[in-house]
């Protein structure tokens, strides 16, 4: 029996967000993806070069062994004809990897709290160490101090993404701290565990191989234990690369097929929504939805140009009560068909929901309180985020949920309006409870010789 693996062409989609869930939007085949990737990188880099100068000119990136300009040629085709153990994601690049990167099978989220009395100099030394080791590990090499370098040799798309909390940024000076870097406003649906709402540095370690990931986490922890304590940690998963490849929308533990409407990696929408590069540039491509919105990156401080923001919500899912809801009740709550993921107004996963469509009885097919309806505000083109989520389930009879990582250039204009609408009314709230919530500044990527956070401490 042979197995045929099909990939579907990347459909046009509106860039709306409808559900906090798994996503993965690869392109149809390696060729267009390479082109798209390369073109986006060039645009992004040009913007950086013309920006604050905090990072440096584009030429600087090309000099690194993982320079963006080299990548289109160097990136192996990631279809299913080969094992992906040797496949690398870039480390030295204008943006950090692990944001636009198609989500890997596994993620370790490790939040660390600085030891009392830490000074800026301590943090700079720590970040230098972490940057050097992350650069080596993601490219398949053991760091210098690695006594098991063989465990690093199959990177399998390992990415290590740094997020800064308020406590760390403050050490560089109060004037560097953006207003939004701190706890979100309180939502009535929250039942937050204070221990899951802390941390000065976040390491988001993602990869397709669990042994490589465990080794990377251990190496980074060895770099960190003199500087920091573990604040909290959580391990998440999606489908393995080996069972599906990257080419399908995934399901969460509720069985929902979604993550259907994220902005596609490499798209102009992505650059606008996540990196805040939407307007003011001659080469900007306007949103298909009409007039270009204001530059969503306007509220990022200079040291964050090329970076973005991350809201990380730990959403517990009550699988036991969800099991008691029958399929029609579930589909009513989400506004989508469980099997195909199509909106109840349509037939295909990627059909745009029609909130005016009515059934034979004259009732709207999609309830105004359904998740898909609440998550969208058709009048506001700013209300878009990029979700990069992972399931977790710690054991039989233990907790289950979703690590909901939301990347966006502007928390106040993009994330909060959506979150407020969902907190107000969303049928899905019946089965979900946010138990952890943190906000992180994602600094830009760096060139070889620099360290992550250099633009903050020495910018």
Q: Which residues 232-261 are close enough to bind its own copies by CB under 8 A? A: 233, 235, 237-245, 250-251, 253-255, 257
Please select the residue that binds its own copies; options are 29, 190, 377, 393, rule is CB under 8 A.
393
Q: Nearest-CA neighbor of 259 among 431, 46, 440, 103? A: 103
Q: Which residues 300-319 are close enough to bind its own copies by CB under 8 A? A: 319
Shortest CB 208 distance to its own copies, Å: 6
Alpha-carbon dihedral angle through residues 416, 105, 371, 426, given to the nearest 10 degrees = -60
Place of tokens 């929250």: 190
DSSP conformation letters of 263-306: PPTTSHHHHHHTS---SSSTTPPPPTTSSPPP-GGGGS-GGGTT
**Under rule CB under 8 A, residue 144 binds its own copies:** no
Please select the residue that binds its own copies; options are 322, 404, 415, 451, rule is CB under 8 A.
322
- The smaller minimum CB distance to its own copies, of residues 110 and 171, is found at 110
For 278, the token pair is: 């939407």
Shortest CB 330 distance to its own copies, Å: 8
Place of tokens 């308020």: 166
Q: Please tell me the distance from the alpha carbon of residue 104 to that of residue 119, in angstroms, as a whole number.
A: 35
- The smaller minimum CB distance to its own copies, of residues 200 and 235, is found at 235
Show Cβ contacts of residue 428 under 8 Å, excluding neighbours closer than 6 positions. Answer: 333, 334, 371
- Alpha helices for 246-365 (secondary structure H): 268-273, 319-324, 327-334
Shortest CB 251 distance to its own copies, Å: 6
Please select the residue that binds its own copies; options are 44, 54, 110, 300, rule is CB under 8 A.
110
Please select the residue that binds its own copies; options are 17, 23, 38, 84, rule is CB under 8 A.
84
Shortest CB 225 distance to its own copies, Å: 7
- The smaller minimum CB distance to its own copies, of residues 41 and 215, is found at 215
Show Cβ contacts of residue 148 under 8 Å, excluding neighbours closer than 6 positions. Answer: 142, 215
Give, in order, the Cα–Cα distances in Å from 197 to each of 192, 232, 416.
8, 9, 17
Only segment of 41-49, 80-88, 192-200, 285-293 that touches its own copies (CB under 8 A): 80-88
Shortest CB 110 distance to its own copies, Å: 5
Q: Please tell me the distance from the alpha carbon of residue 415 to that of residue 299, in angstroms, as a whole number.
A: 14
Q: Which residues 172-231 are close enough to bind its own copies by CB under 8 A? A: 208-212, 214-215, 217-218, 220-222, 224-225, 230
Instruction: State the number of binding residues for its own copies (CB under 8 A).
Output: 74
- The smaller minimum CB distance to its own copies, of residues 175 and 326, is found at 326
- The smaller minimum CB distance to its own copies, of residues 85 and 292, is found at 85
- The smaller minimum CB distance to its own copies, of residues 224 and 287, is found at 224
- The smaller minimum CB distance to its own copies, of residues 102 and 408, is found at 102
Q: Please tell me the distance from the alpha carbon of residue 353 to that of residue 346, in angstroms, as a whole number.
A: 7
Asked if residue 161 lies in contact with residue 286, where contact means CB atoms within 8 angstroms, the answer is no
Please select the residue that binds its own copies; options are 154, 200, 268, 314, rule is CB under 8 A.
154
């Amino acid at each position: 029996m042979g197995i045929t693996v099909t990939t579907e062409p990347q459909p046009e989609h509106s860039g709306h967000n409808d559900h906090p869930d798994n996503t993965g939007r690869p392109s149809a085949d390696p060729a267009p993806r390479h082109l798209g990737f390369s073109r986006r990188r060039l645009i992004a880099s040009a913007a950086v070069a013309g920006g604050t100068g905090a990072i440096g000119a584009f030429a600087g990136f090309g000099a690194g062994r993982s320079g963006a300009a080299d990548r289109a040629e160097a990136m192996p085709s990631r279809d299913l004809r080969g094992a992906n153990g040797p496949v690398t994601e870039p480390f030295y690049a204008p943006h950090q990897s692990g944001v636009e990167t198609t989500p890997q099978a596994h993620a370790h989220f490790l939040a660390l709290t600085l030891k009392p009395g830490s000074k800026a100099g301590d943090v700079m030394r720590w970040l230098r160490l972490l940057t050097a080791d992350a650069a080596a590990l993601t490219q398949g090499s053991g760091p210098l101090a690695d006594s098991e370098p063989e465990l690093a040799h199959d990177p399998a798309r390992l990415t290590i993404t740094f997020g800064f909390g308020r406590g760390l940024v403050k050490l560089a000076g109060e004037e560097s701290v953006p207003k939004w870097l701190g706890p979100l406003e309180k939502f009535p649906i929250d039942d937050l565990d204070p221990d899951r709402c802390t941390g000065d540095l976040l390491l988001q370690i993602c990869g397709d191989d669990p042994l490589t990931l465990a080794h990377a986490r251990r190496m980074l922890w060895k770099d960190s234990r003199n500087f920091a304590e573990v604040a909290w940690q959580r391990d998440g998963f999606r489908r393995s690369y080996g069972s599906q490849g990257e080419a399908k929308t995934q399901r969460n533990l509720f069985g929902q097929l979604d993550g259907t409407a994220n902005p596609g990696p490499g798209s102009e929408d992505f650059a606008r929504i996540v990196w805040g590069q939407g307007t003011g540039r001659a080469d900007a491509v306007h949103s298909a939805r009409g007039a270009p919105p204001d530059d969503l990156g306007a509220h990022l401080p200079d040291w964050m140009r090329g970076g973005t923001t991350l809201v990380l919500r730990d959403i517990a899912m009550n699988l036991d009560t969800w099991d008691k809801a029958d399929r029609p009740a579930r589909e009513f709550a989400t506004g989508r068909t469980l099997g195909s993921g199509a909106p109840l107004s349509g037939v295909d996963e990627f059909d745009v929901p029609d909130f005016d469509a009515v059934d034979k009885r004259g009732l709207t097919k999609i309830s105004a309180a359904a998740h898909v309806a609440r998550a969208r505000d058709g009048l506001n083109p700013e209300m878009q985020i990029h979700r990069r989520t992972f399931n977790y389930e710690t054991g039989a009879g233990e907790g289950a949920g979703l690590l909901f990582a939301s990347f966006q250039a502007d928390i106040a204009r993009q994330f909060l309006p959506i979150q407020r609408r969902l907190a107000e009314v969303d049928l899905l709230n019946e089965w979900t409870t946010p138990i952890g919530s943190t906000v992180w500044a994602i600094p830009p990527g760096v060139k070889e010789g620099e360290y992550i956070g250099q633009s903050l401490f020495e910018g």
